[in-house]
Amino acid sequence: MNFKSGFISIVGRPNVGKSTLLNNILGEKMVIISSKPQTTRNVIRCVHTTDSAQMIFLDTPGIHKPKNKLGDFMVDGAIKTFKEVDVVLFLTDDPGKPGPGDEFILKAIKEINAPKILVINKVDIMKKEEILQKIDIMQEYSFFDEIVPLSALKGDNVDRLLELIEKHLPEGPQYFPEDTITEQPEKVIVAELIREKALQCLEDEVPHGIAVEIMSMKNRKKSEIIDIEATIYTEKKSHKGIIIGKGGAMLKRIGSRARLDIERLLGTQVNLQLWVKIKEDWRDKDFDLRSFGYSPNKKG
């Protein structure tokens, strides 16, 4: 049996479960999750290797109408992946007809010369009639090679999706060692875990205006403890107060939750120190976007 390999783009509107699906496939938490839309900002490459195939997944930001340069970068990064992959997964979670956001993506992927799989996510919270109705509605989009209803949260039918992805992958080499899960540097993952906890803890108007930078990450001498210093940047002075909270309570809450996930990731004790600083309108400034790894000219 010949080995298969290739790149798979996961696309869809914000908050349809792309990152949840990828974490389920990997069996580890590599991509941050939040109930708030536009959680993923960069295109993130993660690797799933079996005896017969290696799948390199590109988790993309949710495609939405941009409101600033960061939004432009996110949407541009997602759309660029369409031209670089061997299989496209389009996720939807709405039992009704596709809305304007879905229609925009469907129009774009129709022109891609690669197999396309429609993934109907969150079937665990849909009625059977709604699932069948959605499948019937999507039949008119005849460019899909497969339709897979599943629950990314519970893992239902994810194995079937992986079988179909492998079916459509070309024969190819093993690009990464079999124990590779992501090519993201540890510092990037740690920063994202901190941002995830901020997204989960903070009020709706704050999270999209924050960025996290790891200032230092060092092994303590004669100890297995890793000391991490990180700065949470926000655009407004009023938001800084919300992030810190009364007596520092909110910042401690974010830090303690992040520390637990970071320790699981690194497999050791972590001493996490967080600071909060203001960087006004960073989402619309090229220099700040580049410094946080969101360069408009960055390939990915």
Question: If you average pLDDT over residues 30-38, what whole number do you get?
Answer: 47
| pLDDT at residue 35 tops 50 | no
Q: Is the pLDDT of residue 191 over 80?
A: yes
The more confident residue out of 81 and 260 is 260
Instruction: Supply the pLDDT for residue 37.
Output: 41
All structural domains of the chain: 4-168 (3.40.50.300), 186-291 (3.30.300.20)
Lowest mean pLDDT among 6-10, 31-35, 45-49, 175-179: 31-35
Is the model more confident about 49 or about 62?
49
Q: What is the 3-state secondary structure (H, E, C) of the chain?
A: CCCEEEEEEEEECCCCCHHHHHHHHHCCCCCCCCCCCCCCCCCEEEEEECCCEEEEEEECCCCCCCCCHHHHHHHHHHHHHHHCCCEEEEEECCCCCCCHHHHHHHHHHHCCCCCEEEEECCHHHCCHHHHHHHHHHHCCCCCCCEEEECECCCCECHHHHHHHHHHHCCECCCCCCCCCCECCCHHHHHHHHHHHHHHHHCCCCCHHHEEEEEEEEEECCCCCCEEEEEEEEECCHHHHHHHHCHHHHHHHHHHHHHHHHHHHHHCCCEEEEEEEEECCCHHHCHHHHHHCCCCCCCCC
Say what percent of the chain tops pLDDT 70.
79
